[in-house]
Structure 1
Amino acid sequence: MTQQPEPVATCQATEYEVSILLEGDINRSVFVITVQYRGGGRWAVTRHGACLGINGEWSREAIPSEREDDWLATHRFDLDTALRLAREAAPHVAVNGHTAMDAYRRFLAAP
């Protein structure tokens, strides 16, 4: 009987947080965009259940069984593209009419 080799544990990054606010900023969590690995070398840019499309618009993400191929083609990216899109969108994330850029400026103006 041939002895099977022991499996080797692997590690893989599956999520990035993208924000213009610093890690310690109390407002950061509400302005974060997440880049999440979705398999097959493809990544999604997400925020509160919405996905960023290649056109820069956010849309609700349907459950997997309801996602059409054309939607996936415009909402799944290689990592570099996903991070670029998230960085471009980060200053414009809005909460209650205030953008991340507004929060950043308030932070700079604080004594």
Structure 2
Amino acid sequence: MTPYAIATQYAVTLLPETDINSHFYEITVDYRGHGLWAITRHRECMNHDGDWDWEPIPSERTDEWIAAHRFDLDTALRLAKEAAPHVTVNGITAVEALARSARREAQS
């Protein structure tokens, strides 16, 4: 028997991983089985319209809800990358946070 490893999550953020705040601006693309992926941030999940919905616990997810919130990997990664610049934390967008990070780097 040979163990195998599979990737089950991708982190998508505009900020570099060396930025102490990058995880605050992170969107994840999470494998949900059957070749389908979810785009998540905190307990919210992106739907096919690009809106964020609260993700219910597995036993409360209807087939309709799942169909509206699951993607193939390429689509999920593309949508997460498109959404990443718009993530806002305490009124500061990822674009603004990246600019602040660049200014700090330049001052160092």
* 2:39 match: 45
Name which of 67, 81, 85 aligns with 1:87: 81
Structure 1 residue 106: deviation in Å? 1.1
- d(CA) in 1 for partners of 2:47 and 2:93? 19
Aligned to 1:34: 28
Higher mean alpha-carbon deviation, 69-78 vs 83-92, is at 69-78
User: TM-score, normalised on structure 1?
Assistant: 0.90
Gaps in structure 1 of 5+ consecutive residues: 1-6
Query: Once the two structures are superposed, what CA deviation does each residue of 1:10-52 show, in whole Å capped at 9, x if it has no partner?
Result: 1100011000100100110100001110111000111111101
Q: CA deviation at 1:109?
A: 2.5
Q: Which residue of the other structure, out of 16, 19, 31, is the alignment partner of 1:25?
A: 19
Larger radius of gyration: 1
Q: Which amino acid aligns with 2:40?
A: T
Identity %: 55
User: What is the number of equivalent residue pairs in this alignment?
Assistant: 105
**TM-score, structure 2 normalization:** 0.92
CA distance in 1, matches of 2:62, 2:95: 34
CA RMSD of aligned residues (A): 0.9
SS at match of 2:96: helix
1:66 to 55, 60, 68: 60
Runs of 4+ in 1 over 6 A off after TM superposition: none
Structure 2, unaligned runs of 5 or more: none
Question: 1:9 Cα shift?
Answer: 1.1
